[in-house]
Every structure is written in C-alpha cells, then in structure tokens.
Amino acid sequence: MQALQVRGWHRLPEIVSPSPVMALVATSEGLWAAGTGGVAWRPPGGGDWKPKVSGLPLTSVAALAHAGGQLFAGGAEGIARSSDGGDTWEMVTIEESAAVGVSALIASPRFDQDHTAIAATLEAGVLRTDDGGATWRAANFGLQEFEVTSLAWTRGENVVAGTPSGIVRSPNAGRAWRSTTGSEGAVVAALAALDESTVFAAIETGGMLRSNDGGATWSPLEGLPEDVQGTTLFATPEGALLLGAVERGILRSEDRGETWQHVHEQVPLSFGVGEGRVYAGTVEGVLESPDDGRTWQQMPTPPVHDLRRLLAYDGGWLVLGTHSPPARFREGGGWETLESAPLPLLTMAAAPDGSLYASCSGGLMRSTDSGRSWEQALAGEDGQVGRLTFRSDGAGWGGSHDGSRLIRTRDGRTWERIESPFGVLPLAALQAFPDSLIAATYDVRQQTAVLWRSKDDGDNWERVFEVQVYWPVVATLPQPPIFTLSGTVFLADPAGRWTQKPVGTDGGVVRRIAAWKHDLIALTTTSVWRSSDEGTSWAKADEGLPMDQVMDVEVSGDRLYVLLAGGEVWWRSL
C-alpha cells in the first residue's frame, strides 16, 4: 500500500477506526458527530468528514447542541462552545463547580429570545445558562437525585429530566424541579417529546413509560415488550418514534408506541435530524435515513476516535488513544487494529526486549506478540499508571497520574511498588536517563512545576528546582537527555548540568520533543521547529502542514512523522 503525496509530504493510508458516535447535530451548515475523540463535521450534501478538535478542551464528547449560531459540546471535563462551527473552542464558566461529566445538552426552543440551555450531569445534577451559554450554574432546587441521564423540552418552559430513580419535571425552564407521578423507581435511559403533550421514556431495565400531560404523570406503554431495553429514543419530523434497543437495533413506531417494527440491526447511541434526513450514531459510525427512519444506509466513518499519539515500535508504528483500540502500521502491510488491547488505555510503552506494556483500569498488562494478546503484569491499582519509562538495560518505572504511586521493574518482567515523594500532585513526566531518573510534577493551583531527580533507581529523590509555568505538559527525551517546560528546552551537558534555551520564536509551548542524529525536532502549540545546534537556533519545519490538526510528531530513521486529527499520518525525509 503506497503513500500518497500531499504538498511535499507523503501521506500514509488513513486509519479507519470506528468509534461510538455518542451525539449528532444536523443543521443547514452541515452534520456534526461526536465521540471519544471529539467532534467531526461533514458539509451539507455530502463530502469528507473534517475533524473539529483544534483547541477542543474535552478529552471526549458525549453531548452536542446547536443554538443561536453556537455549537455546544459536553464531556467529562464540562462544556465547551464554538461560535465558528467548531474551528475554535473555549470552555464555558461553570459557577461554583469543578469539572463535571455532562451526559445531555438541550437548548430552549426560544433560545434566540431567552438565551437558555440546560445540561444534565452525572454527578452534579442540572446546569443552566440564561446568558447564551457563556456562564452556567447549578439549577437543582427540588432535585433529589444528582445523576441525570437525559433531557426533553416539551412546550413553553416545561422540561423533563431522567434519573436512575425516576423522572423529574421543571415548569420554569429548569429553575426548579419536582417529582412526577408514575415514574417512581424507574431507571431512565432516554426521553423524547413527540409533541407538546406526549412524552416517552425508555427504561434501562426494559419497557417504556408514556405521559400525555407534558411529563406530569406517567404510565407503562403496553405496546413494547418488557424485555426490550432501550438506550436512546427519538421523535422524527413525521411523528414516528425511533428506539435504540440492546441486541435489537433500531425499532420504529408510527402509532405512538402501540406497535413496533424492526428497521435496522445496529444499536444506535444517538439520533439527529436535518435537511429532511434522520441520522443515527452507532458503535460503527453513522447511519442515514432519507425516509423518516424506515430504511437506513451506512455513511462514511467520521473521525471521532481519540487516536492522538505516535509510538515507534518494531520497525513500524502504533497510533494510540484512550478509548479507541490502537492501530499498528507496517510498510507494505497497511494498518492493523489491535482489538484485544486493554481499554481504556492509560498509557503504553515499548520495553527494550520488544514487549509492549499497557496500563488500564485492570492494572498493568504485557504483550510479547506485538499487541495481539496480553497477560497481566501487575494487577489492581498499583498497575494503574499514566507514565511508563524504560532504560536500555531493561529496568523500568511507572507512575500514577496523581503522583501517589510509583512502580519499578529491574528485569522488565516483575514489578514492585516503591515509595513516592510527590504527594498527590499530578505527575507531568517520568523519564529514565542512562544515569538518573527524572520526574516532573505540576500544581495547577499555583501553576508551578517541580523537577525531581533520583540517582538510585527511584529509592530516593531530590527536588532540583521549581518554576512557574502555565502549561502542564512536560516533554522528555532519553537521548540526548532533554526535558521541556513551557516554551523552554533543558539539555544536559556531559557534566550533568542543565542548560536552558527557548524553542522557536513565536512563544509556542512545547508538546513533544524528538531527535535525529544531531538535530532536535520540537512540536509546539503553534509550529514544528528544527534545531541543528543543540537548541541554540530554530527553523520552522512545518511548511505545508495543517498545524491546527497536528496531534503528535515522531522521528524514525531519517523520517519525520506527523499525526493529524482524524487518523492521518504524514511523513517526509529529514
């Protein structure tokens, strides 16, 4: 499989990595799909999907809404909004609250007049904005359950919300909530308003509820078998109901839920409508229906996977994410998806003996067959690490994201826990050098990074220095020994002293550092730079690159590889 030529760069075949499409929004401006890797957009009438993740401050997106010319995205870290169709993003202000996991977003039908929208969260109840989405605050008066799974706006200011213990209703656009009759104890998976009075609720354990008075009172729906477990629910423009059901796919009803027809085998996670078509997001991509959900066809796969990191390995490449299976590339062989890789992936690294180590929620795993199968290396919490580093003699270290745990191996196979001196400060870097071990912690409140060094394989540590930085990313390189803070690179001289030099000329913050022979390659937030004099001077090396889509860079042999959002890998000779 040959690479394609792109403006002086060679482009490898695109990675096809289906990822669950958790949310869909369709408008006259196009179709937006969201998932673990962020947001992608497809222009009206068709065309290629384009990633919309430049500056997106969310690691994954579970909810989308479009109102007042703005696109709102909700995810694990809160809510982001864009006023230019997803080209740029900013986090909204959530008053008196830390980051919250958003499960649903809905805008008032009169958003242009009342500037109101509501967000459901998994631990903080309901958030509400009345200033067009700039500022959000908790709106939980009367709410007894703070895990909210779904929302539906019926008429006027009447809103209903689903929780694991029943349905609540707000008669005043989300300012206050009250319990509803007939829904007590129902674990609500999805809601949909068919018209101003008729609302349906899919129950996670099976069956449905219906309300004929805007959500005030509920009764069981007799037409759906009780063993049908709904995951999502949607009312079409022609007044039909679409239900996504576990192991059933898509069911459709034209008579207000009295009878149902099976119309597709894929299980939808989200629905959307626009330009006379209905869309369904599934674990395999996006389905499209031109006839109100009666028939469906598969659309091109949107790039909403979260593959964001390049790892050179065994003469080829691995592209890694958190929730998407890693993809492996070999010259002449194309891409291979490592379906058995443990997920969610906290980190992955290659050991000197060629084995792969991956940390996940189940602990630390090891593969000796290039990632095709895995065995337990260190079970439980001790194996849950966000940083892994190895020395050429096979010794290795790992550290948890919060800095509270360190692990070590002396032979590359057996691991032990060692004492951590970092408290609970986030671990920004962990790197093994030939004669020492370097770690960096970051205090987000003080915006300071502390560099730590160990000369005895991690038994004892000393603080080297502390510096104020505004970017909690520390890039490292084992040979030559390098680490970066903000826009500065620190290099070790033969005597072990560190010298610091600025990277580039535009004030960008370093995201990744790599080396080729005597040259350094640095990816910053604005450019790709190259230095041939140990970081004293830098020249741009990104001509022809779409910098707003660059996720990572790596050097292998005499080639510079660049990973773009959406799964494209470009390269050119150095």
Render pLDDT for 483-524 as a digit per residue (tens, 0 to 9): 999 899 999 877 778 899 999 888 889 999 999 999 999 999
pLDDT, residue 558, reads 87
Domain ranges of the chain: 340-474
Which span out of 32-46, 208-222, 316-330, 480-494 was modeled with the highest average pLDDT? 208-222
Residue 14 has pLDDT above 80, yes or no: no
DSSP string, 399-446: E-TTSS-EEEESSSS--EEE--SSTT--EEEEEE-SS-EEEEEEETTT
pLDDT, residue 468, reads 87
Q: What is the mean pLDDT of residues 69-94?
A: 93
- What's the topology of domain 340-474? Neuraminidase (2.120.10)
Give tens-digit pLDDT for 523-560.
Answer: 998 999 999 999 999 999 999 998 988 999 999 888 89
Residue 2 has pLDDT above 60, yes or no: no
Q: What is the mean pLDDT of residues 318-337?
A: 85
Asked which of 4-8, 192-196, 283-287 is least confident by mean pLDDT, the reply is 4-8
Give tens-digit pLDDT for 229-238.
Answer: 999 999 999 9
Residue 98 binned pLDDT confidence (cut-offs 50, 70, 90): low
Q: Measure Cα distances from 505 to 218, 288, 542 in Å.
A: 64, 47, 14
pLDDT, residue 1, reads 37
pLDDT, residue 5, reads 60
What six digits make up the tokens of 32? 């937006």
pLDDT, residue 497, reads 80
Q: What is the mean pLDDT of residues 41-59?
A: 88
Query: Which among 482, 521, 479 is positioned nearest to 504, based on CA atoms?
Result: 521
Max CA-CA distance within the chain?
81
What's the mean per-residue pLDDT of the chain?
A: 92
> Is the model's pTM score more than 0.75?
yes
SS3 228: coil
Residue 4 has pLDDT above 60, yes or no: no
Query: Which among 127, 213, 209 is positioned nearest to 167, based on CA atoms?
Result: 209
| Ramachandran category for residue 413: left, alpha or beta (phi over 0 → left; psi -120 to 50 → alpha) | alpha
pLDDT, residue 7, reads 67
